[in-house]
Amino acid sequence: MKLSEYSKLDATALAALIRQKEISPKEALDTALEALRQVNGRLNAVVDYTYDYGLKQIDKGIDYEAPFCGVPFVLKDCGGEAAGIRATMGTRLTGKGVYAGEDSTLFKRMKKAGVIVAATAATSELCIDSSTETIRNGPTRNPWNTEFSPGVQRRFRSPGCGRGRTDGSWKRRRRIHTDPCLHVWNRGI
What is the reported pLDDT for 151? 64
Separation of alpha carbons 171 and 187, rounded Å: 9
What is the reported pLDDT for 25? 97
Report the chain's C-alpha Rg in angstroms: 19
Give 133-159 as a DSSP string. EETTTEE---SS-TTS-SSS--SSPPT
First to last CA, the chain: 32
- Whole-model pTM: value is 0.75
Tens digits of residue pLDDT in 5-62: 999 999 999 999 999 999 999 999 999 999 999 999 999 999 999 999 999 999 999 9
Q: Which of 114, 121, 137, 128 is nearest to 60 (CA)?
A: 114
- The proportion of the chain whose per-residue pLDDT surpasses 70, expressed as a percent, equals 79
Task: Please tell me the number of Cα atoms within 13 Å of 141 on its side-chain side.
Answer: 11
Stated length of the chain: 189
Tens digits of residue pLDDT in 112-158: 999 999 999 888 888 887 777 888 888 888 888 888 777 655 543 44
Separation of alpha carbons 181 and 76, rounded Å: 25
Determine contact, residues 123/78, Cβ cutoff 8 Å.
Answer: yes
Domain ranges of the chain: 3-127
Determine contact, residues 91/125, Cβ cutoff 8 Å.
Answer: yes
